[in-house]
Amino acid sequence: MEYSERLKKLPVQFFATLVEKVSRAIAEGRDIINLGQGNPDQPTPSHIVKALQTAAENPDTHKYSPFRGMPELKNAAASFYKKQYGVDVDPLTEVAILFGTKAGLVELPMCLLNEGDLMLLPDPGYPDYLSGAALSNTKYQTFPLKAQNDFLPDYNAIPEEYTEAAKLMYLNYPNNPTGATANRAFFEETVAFAKKHNIAVLHDFAYGAIGFDGKKPVSFLEAEGAKEVGVEMYTLSKTYNMAGWRIGFAIGNPVIIESLNLIQDHLYVSLFPAVQKAAVTALTGNQQCVEDSVLLYEQRRNTFIKACRRIGWQVEAPAGSFFAWLPVPDGFTSEAFADYLLEEADVAVAAGKGFGKYGEGYVRVGLLVDEERLIEAVNRIGKLNLFQSSLVEK
């Protein structure tokens, strides 16, 4: 037996390699502080868990639900967007229930592109975007996200040969891995760019709830005309600590939504109805749990950034997400620095190179352990004397 050419073209799973390195170190009995992954460390709020338990006890949820998701969940998603972002949504034609937004991100090129078509992807960016290109047998070009432009793309700098050929573009704000955010003016510029070049837009809004310093992240759909050119994907994984539940939704352009529904008609039967009912509770219930999570991440961010600056590591605080994007010291590549921290400090971080060419020179840290462990991680790094310590806390 031999794998198909499509499977052979899949990129190496970056996070699987990282997990293997960390697991090997832990197996040696070492106390590893793992800041390399993006798995929320807090439990799912109890009222959502109870909603699942109650629903699971009802025999009606043991049957198949509608292929395209339960109407009450689509209604909840539409109501959520109206309340949170002021966006009017038709739950029947503008919402697709997803088996986790990662699935949707990978499926979309198969929905909209033909073999050999071109898509535009951010660099650095979430590595699994490349999986969609490989499985759809399409081409991709990346556009750089640079610090001097606040990790936003410069649309004028994308070569015309790419803008004229591209049919689909991915964006992600708050951004993984950089922690950058985007404002409404940027999304309005994006809509104009997409209309000019006839490019569909997918905005990956995975960290849509997590913004700091009193600034709530902006939805792409808040920009006028956004639904004419694209969709946004929203996961419950980060907002409600439901990473293992594998549920999210796409919302926006009805043609794109129908394409997602159509492909899922053939890939899936239905998502467990009890999970969908719990998702309704999450989206329509009291949002204090979300506010508490954001406050926790902001406190961790502040503690971590302050500790880094204290050892002389000059870093910028992220504006959103639960990641920090940190420059590596002179003399290291991102991968060499990540390996060095794991071997010499028992601290795991994600090498920026794993997120693309323009991720080189950085490492990504997840703010997903408690403050004491974050401080301990920085103290261990400080003992390596890689930075000029500062006696003044900034």
Mean pLDDT, residues 323-342 taken together? 97
User: Each residue of 350-386: pLDDT tens digit?
Assistant: 999 999 999 999 999 999 999 999 999 999 999 999 9
Task: Copy the structure tokens of residue 179.
Answer: 């922690």
Check whether the bond before 174 is cis (ω within 30° of 0). Answer: yes
Is residue 233 within 8 Å of residue 98, measured between CB atoms?
A: yes
User: Each residue of 265-296: pLDDT tens digit?
Assistant: 999 878 999 999 999 999 999 999 999 999 99
Q: If you ran DSSP here, which 8-state letter would residue 4 be given? A: -
Mean pLDDT, residues 104-126 taken together? 97
User: Each residue of 185-228: pLDDT tens digit?
Assistant: 999 999 999 999 999 999 999 999 999 999 999 999 999 999 99
Q: What is the pLDDT of residue 18?
A: 85
In this structure, whether the domain defined by 5-44+288-382 belongs to CATH 3.30.70.1230 is answered with: no
Q: How far is CA 162 from the centre of its chain?
A: 25
Q: If you ran DSSP here, which 8-state letter would residue 365 be given? A: E
Q: In the chain, what percentage of residues exceed pLDDT 90?
A: 93
Give the model's confidence band at 392: pLDDT under 50 very low, under 70 low, under 90 confident, else very high. very low
Q: Is 231 helix (H, G, I), strand (E, B) or coil?
A: strand
Give strand pairing partners of 169.
120, 201
DSSP codes joined into one string, 48-83 = HHHHHHHHHTSGGGGSPPPTT--HHHHHHHHHHHHH
Task: Copy the structure tokens of residue 181.
Answer: 């955010």
**Same fold: 5-44+288-382 with 63-284:** no
Give strand pairing partners of 351.
363
Q: What is the pLDDT of residue 268?
A: 87
Give strand pairing partners of 363.
326, 351
- From the candidate CATH numbers 1.10.3720.10, 3.30.70.520, 3.40.50.2300, 3.40.640.10, the one assigned to the domain spanning 63-284: 3.40.640.10
Q: If you ran DSSP here, which 8-state letter would residue 36 be given? A: S
Is residue 81 within 8 Å of residue 221, measured between CB atoms?
A: yes
Residue extents of the structural domains in the chain: 5-44+288-382, 63-284
In this predicted structure, the answer to whether residue 14 has a pLDDT above a threshold of 80 is: no
Q: What is the pLDDT of residue 389?
A: 58
Mean pLDDT of the chain: 95
